[in-house]
Amino acid sequence: MIRIRQIKLPINHNKNDIKKKILKKLRVNENDIQAFTINKQSIDARKNEINYVYEIDVKIKNEEKILNKKIPDTIKTPNEMYKFKITGNKQMKHRPIIIGSGPAGLFAGYMLAKNGYKPVIIEQGEDIDNRIKTVDNFWKSGNLNPKSNVQFGEGGAGTFSDGKLNTTVKDINYRGKEILKIFHKCGAPKEILYINKPHIGTDLLRNVIKNLRNEIIKYGGTFKYNSYFNDINIENNEVINIKVNDEIIKTDNLILAIGHSARETFKLLLNKGIKMNSKPFAIGIRIQHPQKLINENQYGKKDENLPSASYKLTYKALNGRGVYSFCMCPGGFVVNSSSEKEMLAINGMSNHARDEENANSAIIVTITKEDFGSNPLDGIEYQRKLEKIAYIIGKGKIPAQLYKDFIENKESKNLGNIKPIFKGDYKLTNLNNIFPEYISSSLKEAITYFDKKIKGFADDNAILAAIESRTSSPVKIERDENLMSNVKGIYPCGEGAGYAGGIMSAAMDGIKVAEAIAKIYKPF
């Protein structure tokens, strides 16, 4: 096949327009083209002229002859197939155990199951259908289940998010491409295979997760829900078994895909001698604007063929701290994502259509060890302290405030002309009372600066909410070149262990850990 890059087309185009571009570029007849597929699609909105830009793979007659013409922006399509390699010859005594069914756990489980290793996936939360009911009830009533919520349960925290599938991780082994193919096989839209910033959306992701679970079961994996991992037995620096609820389960391979909010599990592991360190993270607010405002700034216009626009913003405050947008959700919701009693945390979430009236994004400030201490769990306690204050100030509801009032350090009494879009009840208050001054001042500086990039960003009526505190894991569990911790047979994995930052990178790390096991062990 031949890959053609930089095919530009106006907003309103169809498949036949793409074909015409191919014919003109390669200087061939229509009968010469046997098939073509989109490899990449992006939007170029520079210079007040909006175009779709494509990278197309073409199956064509006389391929070598055409390649020999050295036509600009054309190459032979590279082989980008992922290969799971099994080189181990040691026999497992027991089935591998995976703690957590977020992206890291699910994709480690998928690869192990598909290749004959029969993993057991332990999840403290509920299966996706029951988890959805529990979370919806929490948003309506405020009744939190600490074991099954927005953070914990089948699919992980990303299930109640925008379902973003972009990553900055280099994909030289094509793990990322394989993940997208698996997601598509399990029901995600085909467009995720080629668009520049793919996302599934929380509404579609839930069914995709169920289908992925069924694939794992089909290949020999087992799931245990409502199953709390509460102890681990180590002998001669090797994992022997774990305790789940009141059951002892033997294993010689334990994958810790525990997620960034598994605070009690971090404590258990530290007490058992698993080496870990605290690490920097970021904390801040979510800001809501009309999606129309973002579209007008990014596109200059809104066309039905253009998706809801997103943005990415960065700033360095006068105090030296980085401030940046994070997990931007076009056309979405701000959601109560708490996981501990009498503490409050928030996140952003969008459906696949991204068709809610508001855009929202986290605006977060870098937090370092100098702020919270160097002991492994100090970062967790820092998060908890601020989440506790947020809960008290909001009286159990999401604390919210108009940007104008945040700047003037006074409690909001009424909302302006922007309709709030929350999952979970909210309370107008003064967010300055939640944060240390170095966070509040950094946010105020940054939002004022961001208004220069997106006109209207610092609108008086923009709605702020707090506290965005689960941006990344505050802990990193040490692992060696074989991806094992200091205890043999234990594999820290994914975002919770400090090796990923989002659905895709967590899933990729899950696959890497499965590969590491396949280097040592042969399948059952």
Walk across the sheet containing 2-10 and list its strands: 33-44, 51-60, 2-10, 74-76
Q: How confident is the model over 125-165, as pLDDT tens digits?
A: 999 999 999 999 999 999 999 999 999 999 999 999 999 99
- Where is average pLDDT lowest: 46-50, 99-103, 156-160, 174-178? 46-50
Q: How confident is the model over 507-516, as pLDDT tens digits?
A: 999 999 999 9
Q: What percent of the chain has pLDDT over 90?
A: 95
Domain annotation covers residue 82: no
Look at residue 47 in the predicted model and tell me its pLDDT.
67
Domain harbouring 36, CATH code: 3.30.70.2700
d(CA 503, CA 517): 22
Of the residues 54, 76, 98, the one at which a domain ends: 76
Residues 463 and 489 in one domain: no
Domain annotation covers residue 84: no
Look at residue 302 in the predicted model and tell me its pLDDT.
63
Look at residue 137 in the predicted model and tell me its pLDDT.
98
Q: How many separate domains does the chain show?
A: 3
* For residues 89-114, average pLDDT: 98
Residues 205 and 299 in one domain: no
Residues 152 and 247 in one domain: yes
For residue 345, give its domain range: 280-468
Look at residue 169 in the predicted model and tell me its pLDDT.
85
- Where is average pLDDT lowest: 124-133, 297-306, 311-320, 364-373? 297-306
Cβ atoms 511, 178 nearer than 8 A: yes
Residue 433 scores a pLDDT above 90:
yes
Domain annotation covers residue 110: yes
* For residues 310-322, average pLDDT: 97
Cα atoms found within 13 Å of the Cα of residue 207, Cβ hemisphere only: 12
Residues 360 and 268 in one domain: no
Q: What is the mean pLDDT of the chain?
A: 96
Residues 425 and 298 in one domain: yes
Residues 385 and 264 in one domain: no
Domain harbouring 136, CATH code: 3.50.50.60
Residues 97 and 71 in one domain: no
* For residues 216-230, average pLDDT: 98
Domain annotation covers residue 81: no
Of the residues 13, 43, 76, the one at which a domain ends: 76
Residues 104 and 28 in one domain: no
Domain annotation covers residue 167: yes
**Contacts by 446-452 with C-beta closer than 8 Å and gap 24+?**
446/313, 446/315, 446/317, 446/323, 446/363, 446/365, 447/287, 447/363, 447/403, 449/315, 450/313, 450/315, 450/325, 450/363
Q: How confident is the model over 260-293, as pLDDT tens digits?
A: 999 999 999 999 999 999 999 999 999 999 999 9
Residue 243 scores a pLDDT above 70:
yes
Residues 251 and 381 in one domain: no
Q: Are strands 333-336 and 422-423 parallel, antiparallel or unpaired?
A: parallel
Residues 503 and 408 in one domain: no
Domain annotation covers residue 487: yes
Residues 460 and 488 in one domain: no
Of the residues 468, 487, 507, the one at which a domain ends: 468
- Where is average pLDDT lowest: 66-70, 98-102, 396-400, 468-472? 66-70
Q: Cα–Cα–Cα angle for 398, 400, 403, nearest 5°?
A: 155
Residues 406 and 286 in one domain: yes
Domain annotation covers residue 434: yes
